Amino acid sequence: TRIAKLEKKVKKNKSTITEVKVHDAFDNIKFGVDFRNAVEVLDYKDNETGEEADNSSLLTSRLYLTMAAAPMQGLIFKGKLAIYSTWGAHLYDHSAGLKDWSASSKATDTLMRVKEAYFVYSTKAGDQPVSFSIGRRPSTNGFLANHRENEPEAGSPLAHITNMEVNAAMVKLDWSRFVSGAYTKFVYGRAHTGEAEGVYGDNWEKRFPYADIDSISEDDNVDFFVAVGDAYNNGQYKIMYQWAHIFNTKGRNLTTDVTKVGAGKADLFSLGLQVSGIGDGISDFLDDTTLFVSGAYSYYDADDGYDLLGSGSGESQDGGSVWAGVIFPDMLTESGKIGFEYNYGSKYWTPMTWAEDTAIGSKIAVRGSAYEAYWNFNLFGIEYLPSQIRYTYAQHDYTPNVNCAGWVLSDPVDIEAQDLRFSVSYRY
């Protein structure tokens, strides 16, 4: 009898312990750290004017504090706080005009900002898997850009046309029961809030906080709609697509010369193929080799009386780009990789790549050609110390696409830009 009672008590204790473990597995938030320090050597040369500029030691530190929680089955939260500063940086200067969604991706000051914060709820509508999400999306260092950033996992969109933080709502439909790895995400968000009534101040007219006064200022909201997903993904072959439509995109009023207005709309398309492993078991080297190629197209449709891409004609303009790369084992370290990439962009190629992590500007947005080589490796063979040596060369045949400011005139130029960077991270 005593043995039977003891066994019953042990069984009850096991049940209680199991309940505690299940509770604790969900009732917590997991934190992570990604701390990167880098030194860069920058060099610029305008071959037409002879003007040169350089920086022999740009020193930066970038800290990501990552968060993840799963309070219940099917519901997750993820967040990322960021500080990205140059050594000896000043506090934020309002004249810099940084957006809330871009400041965390540019080496500026020592303020901590929200880079990502969103939740995802996944369920089924009959046999159809569906997910809902809202917040600041994981939309930087997306498909293909993660290789050059030495990040094993890619963000959500195709970096070829979208590499910037976005605040948006998302619905995802999973098609994998029909096609291997296929899904589509439908995303709607806002990139710019038009001018609104002030909340504070002595002016008695400011009595309607946050009221929309676009009709007075011509400063409209800029919203966007994106359809992005995998057309096919079996682990080795991955085909990804994206279409982005921008409402009331920014441009220039040809009459008043005001540039902060809703001047038209834009559409951007991209289609990319990534092959992870060449052949089937031919060799370890080919198994660990990755090839990719991506094509992209941008079309800016100006409203009457406005100009979007700086031509001064008020006409609609389009542009195209090609991006290709190869990543293979370095044959020196256990998990090190060497990568080579090439980018080409036409005169009016204008993607949304505000967050491009290259000090000389967005090489993906280059209007000309860009060449890049990098070595990703673990310092001292320690997996928590991912490091990189990277060299980027850009030949600008047209006005550099700085900040993707489409209303800047795209003139023929002959400008070279180079960036040599060494970085070491602590990632845990």
- What are the phi and psi torsion angles at 7 (to 5°)? -65, -40
**Res 158: pLDDT:** 93
What is the helix (H) or strand (E) element at residue 2, kind and residue range? helix 2-26
**Res 258: pLDDT:** 77
Nearest residue to 120 via CA among 185, 52, 194, 216: 185
Cα gap 73→393, rounded to integer Å: 47
Instruction: Please tell me the pTM assigned to this model.
Output: 0.87
Ordered DSSP codes for 239-298: EEEEEEEEEEEEEEETTT---BEEEEEEEEEEEEEEEESSSSSS-HHHHT-EEEEEEEEE
Cα gap 321→289, rounded to integer Å: 24
Helix (H, G, I), strand (E, B) or coil at 396: strand
**Res 398: pLDDT:** 93
Supply angle C-alpha 228, 229, 231, rounded to 5.
130
Cα gap 59→425, rounded to integer Å: 14
Find where tokens 């003139």 sit.
411
**Res 46: pLDDT:** 95
pLDDT in tens, 170-179: 999 999 999 9
What string of pLDDT tens digits covers the 428 residues of the chain? 788 778 778 877 777 776 666 556 667 889 999 999 999 999 999 999 999 999 999 999 999 999 999 988 899 999 999 999 899 877 765 555 566 666 677 777 778 889 999 999 999 999 999 999 999 999 889 999 999 999 988 888 899 999 988 899 999 999 999 999 999 999 999 988 777 666 555 555 556 677 766 555 567 788 999 999 999 999 999 999 999 999 888 888 888 877 777 788 999 999 999 999 998 888 999 999 999 999 999 998 988 888 887 666 678 889 999 999 999 999 999 899 999 999 999 999 999 888 777 889 899 999 999 999 999 999 999 999 999 999 999 999 998 886 655 556 788 999 999 999 999 999 99
**Res 3: pLDDT:** 86
**Res 227: pLDDT:** 97
Residue 416: CA count within 13 A, CB half-sphere:
12
